[in-house]
Amino acid sequence: MKRALKVMAGGAALALGVLGAQPFMEEVVHVDQGWSDLQRENWYSRSQGSRLIPLSWLQALEQADSTTKFLEPSHLARFRYLPRYPANGDSTLPVGFAIDRQSDERFSEITRLRWKGNQGSNEPWVGMNCAACHTGEITLQSKRLRIEGAPAMADFQGFMRALNRALEETEQDPTKWDRFAASVLGAEDSLLKRGALRTEYAKLLRWQLEVQRANETPLSYGFARLDAFGHIFNKVALRANGEMKSRNPSDAPVSYPFLWNIHQHDKVQWNGVAPNKPLTADYDIGALGRNVGEVLGVFADLQVLPFGPAIIGYPTSADVGGLLELERQITKLLPPAWPAAFPPIDAEKWEKGKAIFNRTESCAKCHYVMPRDDLTTRFEAKMSPLKGPEAIGTDPWMACNAFTYTAPSGDLRFTPEGFFLGTPHSKTEQVSNLLSTVVIGAIYYRKSDLVGDLEKQLQKVKPFSVPPMSPELVALSSRTFSAIALPLTKEERLATCMSQTHDTLAYKGRPLTGIWATAPFLHNGSVPTLYDLLLPPAQRPTSFKLGTREFDPVKVGYANEHSSTAYFTPRAQAESSFLFQTVDASGTPIPGNSSAGHDYGNALLSDDERWALVEYMKAVGAKRVGNQVLP
């Protein structure tokens, strides 16, 4: 089903307020991907247990250097979070900003806050869910195409910096604080209650700034990228209460992965570090572990307990039921077909591109071809290593950071790596191993949710139990990496990564069905279009502008200064406020931003062959009927 909605884009969408443009009408089209309106709204708003800030605080918060509310739609649009149009529900919060209501009685002091009289334990908080980072939108010819499961354009780094700055300024500016406190406390406003509010506010702000310092990096992510592993790792290290004498900067941002077909992979994440472990057709314990790790990185509350008290697991707000529900919904998500509103696919050129793609030495060696309606075939990922004769040659830092980052184990010291079983953690550990332990402990704490959901799925008459030694749970934490020396410098870490062989010192090839909707390309988003990806690396753009959702259907990617002026319109130019640079002023590749690699004979392709491949990738897995290519 395709659903269109006329909206006044000047109020909620990208242009007005950000660019001072005049309001204009656009048609929002939800591309047919097999979801109902109800499923789509569930995707936008279902809580995962993420708790960033109390709802009433966020509603009262003003922007830094302004009296305008932080939630003003034009302000949120600066970070490219998508509006939830009124026809889709509450338009106050963007897509993927979910309200979490659950008892906080076992949570840490960071979210177990009390600032008003008769306040219960179920105060609503705002956090993010999957949709904030995995909902895309593309604009062409006054149509906004909403694509579920596609990479978001979101600037997470910029959003968090702006939020923390607004929180700091509110605490420091008496007039801002007065307005904030009056709004939050309402009829209960008094000097006594303001004192309580300030105390609790300081707890949250202190934590937010500590997380920001842990993740600090001079590298700007810009739009459409996030170092999710870096943020998750640092959150685990901070929660473990280890003495952090050195930091692990979150300096390896990657493109938000697209989510369709994800349940069919044997392993996920760009470096293949997270296994899928299906117990039934609709129940995957590996996916649950991956998703619990994800929500720990985006604001779930967590208490890491020392070995003895940890017998109950690690108290967490991570909502197992919500995560399972969203994961099952993703298994029904179809890849997006090339839209009818776009220029039609050239059938003969598509056929030629298909033949090139299927050469054994070319694309098909790493990327399966799957029909768009195939949501059941499972496949083994092809991993391309960082070193060796088949080295992928792309920026190594996401895989390398995940392999080499270490931290004091703190309260996790002496805890078995599998929470129940395994080698006890030593004083300093690879953060990936600490994360595995924390994920299992968090799932075990929420085991009643897990058991209840599994009973429902299996329709068991007798109670189903997950015993403490469940092999499915323990398997999630089989030691990710072998023991290595603990290098101190970035150069030493890179030398380690380029001298060792390991499954996760690699990047994953995946099916390319729907790849047209996932720009920018390569794992770190360093190549703007599919056409540019097929050029020899030395000929790819060393810089390009990002920020517009205007689409270039010829080169296939977001329009930029290298696109035809028909697509990089004045409006698109004004919206493209971030300059992505792959090299510095001296021409040296910027760590985290390199666009090198993924070169499998690109120089041997003629330009006609490149264009034919681009045409084929608009509809990988489709079929040709006469002079038409059908999804």
* Three state DSSP letters for 101-150: CCCCCCCCCCCCCCCCCCCCCCCCEEEECHHHCCEEEEEECCEEEEEECC
For residue 600, the tally of other CB atoms under 10 A from its CB is 18
pLDDT at 486: 58
CB of 551 within 8 A of CB of 140?
yes
Separation CA 192–CA 25 (nearest Å): 49
pLDDT at 563: 96
Residue 4 pLDDT > 80, yes or no?
Answer: no
Separation CA 208–CA 168 (nearest Å): 10
- DSSP bridge partners of 543: 581
Residue carrying structure tokens 């696109």 = 563
CA triple 586-589-592, angle to 5 deg: 140
Rg of the chain in Å (alpha carbons): 24
User: Rounded to whole angstroms, what are the CA distances from 435 to 207, 438, 440?
Assistant: 19, 5, 9
Give the chain's mean pLDDT.
Answer: 89
* Percent of the chain residues topping a pLDDT of 70: 88
CB of 55 within 8 A of CB of 125?
yes
- What dihedral do alpha carbons 497, 498, 499, 504 form, nearest 10°? 50
pLDDT at 154: 98
- Work out the average pLDDT over 537-545: 98
pLDDT category at 85 given cuts 50, 70, 90 is low
Residue 558 pLDDT > 90, yes or no?
Answer: yes
pLDDT category at 242 given cuts 50, 70, 90 is confident
- Work out the average pLDDT over 99-125: 94
E strands, 193-263, where? 225-226, 254-255
User: Rounded to whole angstroms, what are the CA distances from 592 to 224, 395, 548?
Assistant: 14, 6, 22
Closest CA to 228 of 169, 342, 151, 149: 151
Separation CA 397–CA 388 (nearest Å): 17
Separation CA 237–CA 413 (nearest Å): 12
Residue 408 pLDDT > 50, yes or no?
Answer: yes
For 577, phi then psi, to 5°, come to -95, -5
User: Rounded to whole angstroms, what are the CA distances from 18 to 15, 65, 73, 165, 493?
Assistant: 6, 16, 10, 19, 41
- Work out the average pLDDT over 269-297: 86
pLDDT at 247: 82
The overall pTM is greater than 0.85: yes
Q: Which residue has the higher pLDDT, 243 or 50?
A: 50
Residue 554 pLDDT > 90, yes or no?
Answer: yes
pLDDT at 586: 95
CB of 18 within 8 A of CB of 223?
no
- Work out the average pLDDT over 295-304: 94
pLDDT category at 103 given cuts 50, 70, 90 is very high
- Work out the average pLDDT over 176-202: 96
Closest CA to 533 of 384, 392, 339, 631: 392
- Work out the average pLDDT over 180-209: 96
